[in-house]
């Protein structure tokens, strides 16, 4: 029986078709079967494949991969990093739509999703290194040098900024050609208000506290079973690790400086909680694009999946979808290889 499509489902299908034209793929697009939902399937992403790699400190990490752009197409690879204790599959609506015309990777950070719960490494520097090692394991630095758009949400914002900061300081080649930061503080203006009872509640009534946290991420109705699967996924992260991830000594100004130091195209998407920070960023760095999702919760890409996907596709098309970006990556890789050769000859 063919499902009847309402206005929302029809709009989602039209937006999926629009995504193709924005990234220049034209008739190569095949629409997904049925209407896309904002939530995806709990614990899985249709059409995605599980991949694994081992980090330099011996931890086995999981990521999902979907899509496979043809060599020389100029299509970008889009890499998603989720937030605190969240699994890769929370990006299901984005993975499904983008995979029709681009390569898409979504990381389960250490201690999250299907990745190993390591004994250590729950700090920005190590998790940033994990992002870099994912890009290497997924062959993002191999020819034909397809540009990468890195998308970090919540805690993933900080880890993405840390990754780019560390690569810049080390003079290392990176395939990342554009950056999307989704709803977290970037160290400007007044710090967001915190909850002084959160850690005590997390220790004393963990399931109740995590359930409340997950529920607070959305302003739109979500399937209770899907939401409960998110809670179960979050509870996989060891308790102390989940606390360590939020208790990291780092001056707020570090994130501001890391953001302002990047020369990459940046898109900063926020809810009203971080709207003032977006205004300050825009005033100091006019080239940084900002977008306010005024009626969405913290997981704005779930609450307003179609609008988020349209925004992301346009940004990718403008910043990393063409041959110019690929040529830049080729030159960066050649410089890195030259530096390595010079170092070996000393």
Q: Give the tokens for residue 140.
A: 């993002």
At residue 324 the predicted structure's pLDDT band, cuts being 50, 70 and 90, is very low
Provide the pLDDT for residue 45. 85
At residue 248 the predicted structure's pLDDT band, cuts being 50, 70 and 90, is confident
Q: Rounded mean pLDDT of 193-197? A: 92
At residue 3 the predicted structure's pLDDT band, cuts being 50, 70 and 90, is very low
Burial class (CB in 10 A: 0-12, 13-18, 19+), 177: buried
Could you tell me which residues are beta bridge partners of residue 50? 64
Could you tell me which residues are beta bridge partners of residue 289? 267
At residue 43 the predicted structure's pLDDT band, cuts being 50, 70 and 90, is low
Q: How far is the CA of 280 from the CAs of 155, 273, 288, in angstroms?
A: 20, 13, 11
Higher pLDDT, 145 or 342: 145
Q: Rounded mean pLDDT of 65-91? A: 86
Provide the pLDDT for residue 143. 84
Higher pLDDT, 332 or 152: 152
Could you tell me which residues are beta bridge partners of residue 292? 270
Higher pLDDT, 298 or 248: 298
Provide the pLDDT for residue 226. 96
Higher pLDDT, 123 or 46: 123
Q: How far is the CA of 301 from the CAs of 56, 177, 218, 256, 296, in angstroms?
A: 32, 21, 10, 24, 8
Provide the pLDDT for residue 33. 25
Task: Please name the helix (run of DSSP H) or strand (run of DSSP E) that holds residue 133, with its range, or none.
Answer: helix 124-137
Query: What CA–CA distance (Å, rounded) separates 60 from 91?
Result: 21
Sign of CA dihedral 291, 295, 301, 304: negative
pLDDT above 60 for 315: yes
pTM tops 0.75? yes
- Determine contact, residues 51/108, Cβ cutoff 8 Å: no
Provide the pLDDT for residue 20. 33
- Determine contact, residues 88/62, Cβ cutoff 8 Å: yes
Q: What is the pLDDT of residues 280-311, one digit of tens each?
A: 999 999 999 999 999 999 999 999 999 999 99
């Amino acid at each position: 029986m063919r499902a009847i499509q309402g206005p929302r489902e029809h709009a989602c299908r039209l937006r999926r078709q629009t995504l193709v034209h924005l990234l220049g793929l034209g008739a190569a697009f095949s629409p997904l079967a049925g209407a896309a939902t904002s939530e995806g399937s709990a614990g899985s992403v249709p059409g995605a494949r599980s991949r694994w790699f081992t980090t330099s400190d011996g931890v086995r990490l999981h990521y999902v991969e979907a899509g496979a752009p043809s060599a020389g197409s100029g299509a970008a690879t889009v890499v998603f990093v989720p937030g605190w204790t969240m699994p890769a599959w929370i990006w299901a609506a984005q993975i499904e739509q983008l995979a029709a015309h681009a390569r898409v990777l979504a990381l389960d950070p250490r201690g999250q999703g299907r990745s190993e719960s390591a004994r250590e490494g729950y700090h920005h520097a190590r998790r940033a290194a994990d992002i870099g090692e994912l890009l290497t394991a997924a062959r993002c630095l191999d020819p034909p040098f397809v540009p990468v758009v890195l998308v970090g949400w919540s805690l993933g914002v900080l880890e993405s900024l840390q990754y780019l900061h560390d690569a810049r300081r080390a003079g290392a080649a990176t395939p990342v050609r554009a950056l999307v930061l989704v709803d977290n503080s970037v160290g400007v203006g007044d710090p967001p208000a915190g909850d002084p009872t959160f850690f005590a509640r997390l220790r004393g009534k963990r399931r109740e506290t995590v359930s409340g946290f997950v529920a607070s991420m959305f302003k739109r109705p979500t399937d209770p079973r899907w939401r409960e699967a998110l809670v179960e996924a979050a509870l996989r992260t060891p308790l102390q690790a989940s606390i360590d991830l939020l208790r990291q000594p780092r001056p707020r100004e570090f994130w501001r400086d890391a953001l302002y130091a990047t020369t990459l195209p940046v898109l900063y998407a926020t809810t009203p909680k971080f709207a003032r920070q977006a205004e300050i960023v825009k005033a100091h760095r006019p080239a940084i694009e900002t977008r306010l999702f005024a009626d969405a919760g913290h997981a704005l890409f779930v609450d307003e999946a179609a609008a988020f996907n349209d925004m992301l596709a346009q940004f990718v098309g403008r910043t990393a979808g063409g041959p110019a970006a690929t040529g830049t990556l080729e030159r960066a890789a050649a410089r890195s290889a030259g530096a390595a050769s010079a170092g070996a000859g000393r």
